[in-house]
Amino acid sequence: MEHQELKIMTGKPKLYYFDARGKMESVRWLLAAVGVEYEEVLFKTAEDFENLIKDGNLMYQQVPMVEMDGMYMVQTRAILKYIAAKHDLYGKDLKERALIDIYVEGMRDLNDMIIYLPFSLPEEKQKNLNYILERATERFFPVYEKVLKDHGKNYLVGNQLSWADVQLLEVILMAEELKSGILSAFPKLQEFKARVSKLPRIQKFLQPGSPRKPPVDEAEFEISRKIYKIDKNLLLKHMS
């Protein structure tokens, strides 16, 4: 691993993934929020992914991978924590960082459920959707609504934009794609969404033509399945 640490890389960060949201989308969101431009290396074939493994830089043989600051970083949370800390979106002290982690971990739970929904077995899709909506409105969104209401500030932690705010906006918009009125009982979250969406860098990322990816569809699933050589039925059962 020493040669990796000594190797100097310059230029924009490179994001290695599929042409889809998946686990990489939160990385795209965070880089957009801090105003860092990046390049994407998108896999089109199984050979593309196999070549990346052969290069020897893909630890665990799993993506997302981000080439940045002389490192080949893997594991989504590790990547996000690094970007957040580097760009002052990770709190001013250990207590704020702990709060950000607590909030983000809940958001990731909800985010992951939404990511996996399109891969549900057909007969289970409505049941899984109902479960996600119930969890969003009864377990997760009430937490962030209460935080914003109790401290009366614009952001979740420290009254300045943090990684948690960026993650929250992302998951709110994903939930609204499932049910347009899902924030109807959460006025503080409605205000939060409107406020954070107007931040110039976020607003730019939300415009058509930005690197933001659309929701996954069956065609994208087939591409990733062929690249990973996954048995579709086995994967669907596992994800359900």
pLDDT tens for 182-233 read: 999 999 999 999 999 999 999 999 999 999 998 876 666 666 666 666 555 5
Greater model confidence, 27 or 7: 27
Identify the structural domains of the chain with CATH numbers, from first to last.
2-87+208-239 (3.40.30.10), 94-199 (1.20.1050.10)
For the CA atoms of the chain, what is the radius of gyration?
18
For residue 66, the cross-strand partners are: 15, 73
Model confidence, pTM: 0.87
> How far from the centroid of its chain's Cα atoms is residue 134's Cα?
21
Percent of the chain whose predicted confidence (pLDDT) is above 70 = 86
DSSP states of 131-195: HHHHHIIIIIHHHHHHHHHHH--SSSSTTS--HHHHHHHHHHHHHHHH-TTTTTT-HHHHHHHHH
* Residue reference for tokens 């409605």: 190
Residue 72 near residue 62 (C-beta atoms within 8 A)? no
